[in-house]
Amino acid sequence: MAQKTQVGIIGAGPAGLLLAHMLHRQGIGSIIIEAQTREAIEGTIKAGVLEHPTVQLLDELGVGERMHAVGFEHHGIELAFGGKRHRIDLHELTGGKSIMVYPQHEVIKDLVAAVLANGTTIEFGVRDVALQGIEGTRPSIRYTLDGEARQIECDFIAGCDGFHGPSRQAIPAALRVEHLKTYPCGWFGILCEAPPSSDELIYAQSDRGFVLVSTRTPTVQRMYFQCDPSDHVDNWSDERIWAEFHARTEGSDGWRLKEGRIFQKGIIAMRSFVCETMQHGRLFLAGDAAHIVPPTGAKGLNLAAGDVVLLSGAIVDFYRDNSHQSLDSYSARALKRVWRGEQFSWFMTTLLHDFDGEDTITRRFRRAQLDYLVSSRAASTSLAENYVGLPFEGSA
């Protein structure tokens, strides 16, 4: 079975869904294929801190109503170290900007509903995806669905299929310029039934390791602590988990973390990855297919949104003006924002984590940097500007 469209999109994550919705609003057709089921992508709980430009984008696209109804707008974050907590006033330091705590799977729910409502096809549960003809003018995507061989013929392919998808691998290895840094720690994450411990996110640094205190709903909280990436969740009883959280977060001010029933545990790895070759022929990569960041900087979904703003605009230019200029420069323009987000994520990770084998002077350097961040308006402003998100290219 063969289908034809203008843009074939691989992956129904935030990047692929945003791209399809933005193209549809400009009269450009697309088809999305996704390896997982709809239930899986909408039900897999993932973190989500949305930058100010991302929130604006979702509002402009008409998919922000539920985000504002159930998400949490935060005007600041707290840095905790040395037994004290220090607030970074994002709103005041950035001229009124803020962040939205709204999980990624909820963003996906909103986008799936919008994309299907506008008539775009999403085929879930596909297998054996292969890209063909990407160096020509009419590439195609071959795959199977329910055991039936299928094909999408298109003008362009958008690889939005994540780090492990086939899109990046379709670019010849000799042509891919890639960079990888693996951090010597992981995050042990929990979801628990408890009231919020704080009105805003807490980034805590201690000699025992890092902690992030976040929220999901008024009754469900998400928290992480730094761990050995080779550790296993079975080594951690609930009692041991709470004891570790308390030891790493509580100081002399009387603040205490609120406990509750833990109903999910998991360990995630920490790495920085960039494939600078974000395009090859008629294939264009966006989101995690091209870059991965450690979650400390809260940049993953937001970098994907930045990619899509550029890619959708370039595709519109092609069909409206028959211009290849924006498409040809896509990688170079996208990488400016990608590398800024990567560097900030690295900065936050190295600032807040103690690594095994470090010398004492490195730890003193870290504490000196933290002291400077909370005592200097210039340093606090720099952190705040990066955290709320720099404007998308062409935005105010």
Retrieve residue 373's tokens: 């961040």
| 291 part of the active site | no
Residue 245's identity, in one-letter code, is F
| 21 part of the active site | no
378 falls within a domain = no
Sheet with 7-10: strands ordered across:
121-124, 30-34, 7-10, 156-159, 283-285, 279-280
36 falls within a domain = yes
Pick the catalytic residue from 203, 291, 294, 330: 203
**Predicted pLDDT of residue 394:** 53
Q: In the chain, count H helices and then E strands.
A: 13, 21
**Residue-averaged pLDDT of the chain:** 95
Which whole number is the average pLDDT over 62-66?
A: 97
**Burial annotation 340-354 (CB, 10 A radius, 16+ → b, else e):** bbbebbbbbbbbbbb
Whether 74 and 213 have beta carbons less than 8 Å apart is answered as no
**330-352 and 377-388 helices, crossing angle to 10°:** 130
Which whole number is the average pLDDT over 5-25?
A: 98
Pick the catalytic residue from 74, 75, 97, 280: 74
The answer to whether residue 122 scores a pLDDT higher than 50 is: yes
91 falls within a domain = no
pLDDT digits (tens, 9 = 90+) for 296-347: 999 999 999 999 999 999 999 999 999 999 999 999 999 999 999 999 999 9
Domain termination residue (choose one: 209, 236, 271): 271
Pick the catalytic residue from 75, 97, 280, 299: 299
Residues 264 and 191 in one domain: yes
**Beta strands 30-34; 7-10: pairing state:** parallel
CATH code (residue 233): 3.30.9.10
Whether 24 and 173 have beta carbons less than 8 Å apart is answered as no
Residues 225 and 285 in one domain: no
Task: Check residue 260 and report its DSSP letter.
Answer: -
Closest by CA to 134, choosing from 108, 166, 89, 107, is 166
| 203 part of the active site | yes
Domain of 206 in residue numbering reads as: 180-271
Cα–Cα distance, 316 to 328 (Å, whole number)? 13
- The reported pTM is 0.94
Find the length of the chain: 396
381's enclosing H/E stretch is helix 377-388
Pick the catalytic residue from 291, 295, 330, 353: 295
Residues 150 and 208 in one domain: no
Task: Check residue 289 and report its DSSP letter.
Answer: G
Pick the catalytic residue from 143, 224, 330, 387: 387
**Predicted pLDDT of residue 207:** 87
How many folded domains does the chain comprise?
2
Question: Which residue matches tokens 């600078």?
Answer: 276
CATH code (residue 153): 3.50.50.60
| 74 part of the active site | yes
Cα–Cα distance, 364 to 351 (Å, whole number)? 11
pLDDT digits (tens, 9 = 90+) for 160-175: 999 999 999 999 999 9
155 falls within a domain = yes
90 falls within a domain = no
- 3-state SS class at 178: strand
Retrieve residue 344's tokens: 């900030």
| 183 part of the active site | no
Cα–Cα distance, 171 to 161 (Å, whole number)? 14
**Predicted pLDDT of residue 45:** 77
247's enclosing H/E stretch is helix 238-249
